[in-house]
Structures are given as structure tokens and as C-alpha cells.
A and B are shown apart, each in its own frame.
Chain A
Amino acid sequence: MKAINEMKLTVPSRSANEGFARAAVAAFIAPLDPTIGELADIKTAVSEAVTNCIVHAYRDGIGVIYIQAKILEQGRVVIRVRDTGCGIEDVKKAMEPLFTTCENGERAGLGFAVMESFMDKLRVSSRPGRGTTVTMEKTILSKGA
């Protein structure tokens, strides 16, 4: 499907960019006139994906996070968040609710569960040592629908 609009954003994996990335995507989809709930869903999902790059993919340093968003016909929004960090050994297991490799007890292991339930579609592809790509999709229902 042809994109009506499209944006790309590249940021270093500094935690200050979590807020910037979700605000940038929210501003990009604003012309679709999302509800407060739809906007919160998308901002939360973007925040989860970007935070995972910072906390997990580049846990030992700073790397580059590639964010891409597209608006397709009928209010379809596709968002891709990619890193070239450590990658995930077992994606299926990583996506299970409450699974986390974080050991200090301050992570819930719910990032993927949030992305899955707040968006219509979620796809995760990863190669250990090469990086991870998260692709999410959500349809913003047209005004008055």
C-alpha cells in the first residue's frame, strides 16, 4: 500500500530520547486526529520499543536507534523501531508477558505485552549479535466513525 506520508528519525540511545521519540511520532500522526486513547496507545508502544533499544540492545554503550513511521490509506499507521545492538536469542520467549532479562527487579517484563495489546499488529525480528527490528501497526479510526 502506498504511503501518504512518511518520516524517519535517527537518535543515539540516550534515555532523554525516549520522550523525544514518542512525542515526534505523536506529532507526525496528529493530522489523523486520533482520540486521546489512540494517541496514548501509540506513544506508549513507541516508548516501549525505544526504551528496549536503550536498556537491552545497547546495554553496554550508546548505539543508533532508527525510527520510521508511515501513514497509509484509511488511517493505517506503521511504525518501525530498529537497532543494531545485541539482538534476541529467543524472540518467542522474550515476548512472553513477565519475561525479562533485567536482574535488579525494576523491570516488569511487559514491554512487548504492552506493544501487542495497544497496537493492532506487532512483529519482532532479531538476529543475535546483529540487532532487532520491531514493526507495529495501528489503524486510527476516522473522525466520527
Chain B
Amino acid sequence: MDVQLTVEEETMTAFLSGEIDHHGAGEIRRKIDEMAQRVRPQKMILDFGGVTFMDSSGIGLVMGRYRLLQSFGGALCLRHVSSPLKKVMRLAGLDRIAQIEDTRPGEKQEGKRS
């Protein structure tokens, strides 16, 4: 688990990588919030391009950041979400609170053998 943060004008992007579970979520949350509270971005992009696993702790992470952004009127965008991650996010209705962007190029679809 790792997170790299960038800020460009009004947009903050968090590049997440590795496995997102309860074990790693706390540190990701602290890093993102520390920056977000300082810059109060109009838009936050959570980039899941490097994420290989996510469970409901990741859903909690997204919902918590959504609430934080709402407190100062920012919007949330979820980017590079692979299909197994999308399945978890849809179950949680995250597609209703944030814009979910494209699947990663070259990603294997469900049903194909590993």
C-alpha cells in the first residue's frame, strides 16, 4: 500500500497503489486528509490504477473522503478502477456519490482465465 499526492490548481490527485484493506487504510486516510485540509481542493481524484485489491475498508475510505470534500464543497472522482474494484464500489453505491472513470487499458475482463 502506498499513496502519492499531487496538487495542481484546484485539483488534488491521490495515486493509490497496492492492496487497500483495514491494515493500510488508516495511513492513506491520514496522508490524504492532511493535504486536503490544507489545500481544500475543488476536486479530488482518487487514482486506483496501481491498486490490486480492495475490500469494504476501501469503501469506508472513499466515503469518508467524500464527506470531507462535501464539507467545503469539493467533488470526488474515482479513476482507473479495475473491474474487481468496480464490483465492490457498485455494491456500495459509490457510483452515485462520485464519478467513476474508465477501466485500465489492457485489463483482463472477468471470466477470462488467469
Cβ distance B1 to chain A, nearest Cβ, rounded Å: 9
Q: Does residue A68 face the partner (Cβ distance < 8 Å to B)?
A: no
Chain A interface main SS type: helix
Considering only residues 32-64 of chain B, those with a C-beta below 8 Å from chain A are 53-57, 59-61, 63-64
Known contacts A33-B113, A35-B111, A36-B108: A108-B21 contact under CB 8 Å: no
Known contacts A36-B110, A37-B111: A48-B64 contact under CB 8 Å: no
Known contacts A35-B110, A108-B60: A19-B21 contact under CB 8 Å: yes
Known contacts A33-B113, A39-B114, A48-B55: A55-B88 contact under CB 8 Å: no
Q: A interface, how many residues as a size bin?
A: 20 to 34
Q: Which A residues lie within 8 Å of B83 (CB)?
A: 37
Determine if A106 and B23 form an interchain contact, defined as CB atoms under 8 angstroms apart.
no
Q: Does residue A139 face the partner (Cβ distance < 8 Å to B)?
A: no
In the assembled complex, the Cα of A44 lies from the Cα of B88 at a distance in Å of 9
Q: Does residue B2 face the partner (Cβ distance < 8 Å to A)?
A: no
A-B contact count (CB 8 A): 82
Determine if A16 and B84 form an interchain contact, defined as CB atoms under 8 angstroms apart.
no
Q: Does residue A43 face the partner (Cβ distance < 8 Å to B)?
A: yes
Q: Does residue A15 face the partner (Cβ distance < 8 Å to B)?
A: yes
In the assembled complex, the Cα of A36 lies from the Cα of B108 at a distance in Å of 8
Known contacts A37-B83, A105-B64: A18-B56 contact under CB 8 Å: no
Q: Does residue B67 face the partner (Cβ distance < 8 Å to A)?
A: yes
In the assembled complex, the Cα of A15 lies from the Cα of B55 at a distance in Å of 14
Cβ distance B105 to chain A, nearest Cβ, rounded Å: 16
Choose among A15, A37, A43, A110 the residue that contacts B23 (Cβ–Cβ < 8 A): A15
Cβ distance B32 to chain A, nearest Cβ, rounded Å: 12
In the assembled complex, the Cα of A34 lies from the Cα of B84 at a distance in Å of 14
Q: Does residue B112 face the partner (Cβ distance < 8 Å to A)?
A: yes
Name 10 extra pairs, CB < 8 A, besides A35-B114, A36-B108, A106-B61.
A19-B23, A33-B113, A35-B112, A36-B84, A37-B110, A40-B84, A40-B87, A43-B53, A106-B25, A114-B91
